[in-house]
Amino acid sequence: MAADREAKLQLVHRRIRAFSDFPKKGILFRDICPILKDPAALTAVTDLFEEHVRKNHPQVDLIVGLDARGFLFGPLLAQRLGVGFVLVRKKGKLPGPTLSVLYDLEYGKAEAEIQDDSVAPGQKILLIDDLLATGACELMKKQQAEILGCMVIIELKELNGIEKVKPHSLFSLIQY
């Protein structure tokens, strides 16, 4: 089992590309598009997230995916787990009443929002994205959700994301 997990992690790692000075000078961008192009790598990501959730968070009610790459992995995981999926979008992209929060990115600021009826108070949620976006935790607090943790494909250790999501856990597949 450990060998299978390691093989999946290696496959995912090999499919992540780095681009210097994108989206602006001084940023080393980690590109996950090759994962999406490779069915085995995409399956590996979903398998690894599913294994983590079934082992550590079997009580989860919803997977909450962040705009936009969380939308790619979140629904696949939610379907496997038999739970719902909820979108966190960039400001102005959702119809109806919403809640929003301003948060810091690696290279600027952004504002995210969620439909105000998408998560009920007390629901147990897991956040998923390619990289850690801490603003979603604030949105879930506004929704009075119980945040079980955050899951990402890539953790950029120099950004110290684990400190930013405390007291919640952070599960990452790959660390740089």
Each residue's pLDDT tens digit, 63-109: 999 999 999 999 999 999 999 999 999 999 999 999 999 887 666 78
Specify the higher pLDDT residue, 1 or 26.
26
What average pLDDT does range 11-29 have in this prediction?
95
Whether residue 69 lies in the annotated active site: yes
The CA distance from 50 to 46, in Å, is 6
Q: Which fold has domain 2-175?
A: Rossmann fold (3.40.50)
Is residue 141 very low, low, confident or very high in pLDDT (cuts 50, 70, 90)?
A: very high
Is residue 133 very low, low, confident or very high in pLDDT (cuts 50, 70, 90)?
A: low
* pLDDT above 70: residue 45: yes
What average pLDDT does range 44-56 have in this prediction?
98
The CA distance from 127 to 149, in Å, is 6
What average pLDDT does range 36-63 have in this prediction?
98
Specify the higher pLDDT residue, 162 or 12.
12
Out of 69, 89, 113, 155, pick the active-site residue. 69
* pLDDT above 90: residue 161: no
Whether residue 17 lies in the annotated active site: no
The CA distance from 172 to 131, in Å, is 9
So where are the chain's domains?
2-175
Q: Could you tell me the sign of the dihedral formed by the alpha carbons of 65, 131, 72, 89, in that order?
A: positive
Out of 50, 51, 106, 138, pick the active-site residue. 106
pLDDT of residue 52: 98
